[in-house]
Amino acid sequence: MTSQTIAQTIKACASVLDNHDGSLTFNEPSLEAKILVGHCVKKTFSQLIVDANEYIHADIQLNIKRCIERRLAGEPIAYIIGHQPFWTLDLDVSEHTLIPRSDTETLIETVMNLPIADDASVVDLGTGTGAIALSLSSEKPNWQVLGIDFKQEIIELARRNALKNGLKTTFLQSDWYHALNGLRFDLIVSNPPYVESDSPYLNQGDLRFEPRSALTSGDHGLADIKTIITQGKMHLKKGAYMVLEHGATQAMPITKIFLEQGYSQISTIADINGLDRVTLAVFDKPL
């Protein structure tokens, strides 16, 4: 490989991403090239500009080539570089769980607009990287936020992210509410698996690389949501909120489940693309 500067390498990588013949489309090849090159040379975007004429060592050129090959094979950029921005945080990611999506910021905004006490207790079910739990902790430092997920590797990832972002959020391994015996919360939030098991989307884009355990649920994608709503009644204080992220076509069936289970004040919030994304409800009569 001939010696190239940072600027030349970014240009060459962007051109490879732009002109390849595969089925993938890269919306912003030059942005992706900057992210991948920046990751390999360990420089921020502004350092890439300042050091544009610096030559890149052959070993690092090889690393960049490998990263581009992985990207051309469709692997999500967050898995290649190992982290992803979410809300105001930077979160490590792993193959054990979902890469946080900007869609989920609708849930954070929804929660921020609720009249919830300053000392609230909150649980984030299926916390993954800790995206929701950590964002809420960062916004509301006095909330007692607990994130749960069912795999120990995921809990360790979320704890690392808490440390990385200087947050005191607690994480616990649990199959939904199993380890939460007797605990009641002012707020239950969740972005659970909600994709139908046979959805064609599972064979497209980033979803091909993410674990099915983070994505799919039986009963048309509603099985886990049903469990969370039904069993949630044993874990909500009087007048407490449940706020759930879901697929764009699931607001109606979820509203129905909330109603059947005795919840009230049910409403649905759309994301920035105008798609129904979050449904929330209040539980007024704890069991």
Ligand X SMILES: C[S@@+](CC[C@H](N)C(=O)[O-])C[C@H]1O[C@@H](n2cnc3c(N)ncnc32)[C@H](O)[C@@H]1O
The number of beta carbons lying within 10 Å of the beta carbon of residue 198 is 8
**Which CB atom, from 9 or from 190, has the smaller least distance to ligand X?**
190
**Segment interacting with ligand X, rule: CB under 6 A, options 19-27, 28-36, 98-106, 260-268:** 98-106
177 part of the interface to ligand X, by CB under 6 A: no
Q: How far is the CB of 270 from ligand X (least distance, A)?
A: 18
DSSP line for the chain:
----BHHHHHHHHHHHHHH--SS---S-HHHHHHHHHHHHHT--HHHHHHTTTPBPPHHHHHHHHHHHHHHHTT--HHHHHSEEEETTEEEE--TTSPPP-GGGHHHHHHHHTS---TT-EEEEES-TTTHHHHHHHHH-TTSEEEEEES-HHHHHHHHHHHHHTT---EEEE-STTGGGTT--EEEEEE----EETT-GGGGSGGGGTS-HHHHEEHHHHTHHHHHHHHHHTTTEEEEEEEEEE--TT-HHHHHHHHHHTT-EEEEEEE-TTS-EEEEEEEE-S--
**Segment interacting with ligand X, rule: CB under 6 A, options 28-36, 61-69, 143-151, 264-272:** 143-151
**Which CB atom, from 9 or from 174, has the smaller least distance to ligand X?**
174
Q: Which of 138, 170, 213, 261 binds ligand X (CB under 6 A)?
A: 213
**Which CB atom, from 38 or from 126, has the smaller least distance to ligand X?**
126
* Residue 67: CA count within 13 A, CB half-sphere: 26
Applying CB under 6 A, the site for ligand X has a residue count of 22
128 part of the interface to ligand X, by CB under 6 A: yes
Q: Which of 35, 154, 157, 229 binds ligand X (CB under 6 A)?
A: 154
**Which CB atom, from 5 or from 213, has the smaller least distance to ligand X?**
213
- Which single residue brings its beta carbon nearest to ligand X? 126
The site map against ligand X for 101-120 (x = CB under 6 A) is ---x----------------
175 part of the interface to ligand X, by CB under 6 A: yes
247 part of the interface to ligand X, by CB under 6 A: no
214 part of the interface to ligand X, by CB under 6 A: yes
Q: How far is the CB of 49 from ligand X (least distance, A)?
A: 31
What is the rounded distance in angstroms from the CA atom of residue 17 to the CA atom of residue 25? 8
What is the rounded distance in angstroms from the CA atom of residue 253 to the CA atom of residue 69? 42
CA 27-28-32 angle, to 5 degrees, is 120
Q: Which of 97, 137, 216, 250 binds ligand X (CB under 6 A)?
A: 97
221 part of the interface to ligand X, by CB under 6 A: no
Q: How far is the CB of 194 from ligand X (least distance, A)?
A: 7
Q: How far is the CB of 78 from ligand X (least distance, A)?
A: 11
The number of beta carbons lying within 10 Å of the beta carbon of residue 27 is 6
Q: How far is the CB of 196 from ligand X (least distance, A)?
A: 14
146 part of the interface to ligand X, by CB under 6 A: no
Binding site for ligand X (CB under 6 A): 97-98, 100, 104, 126-129, 131-132, 148-151, 154, 175-176, 191-193, 213-214
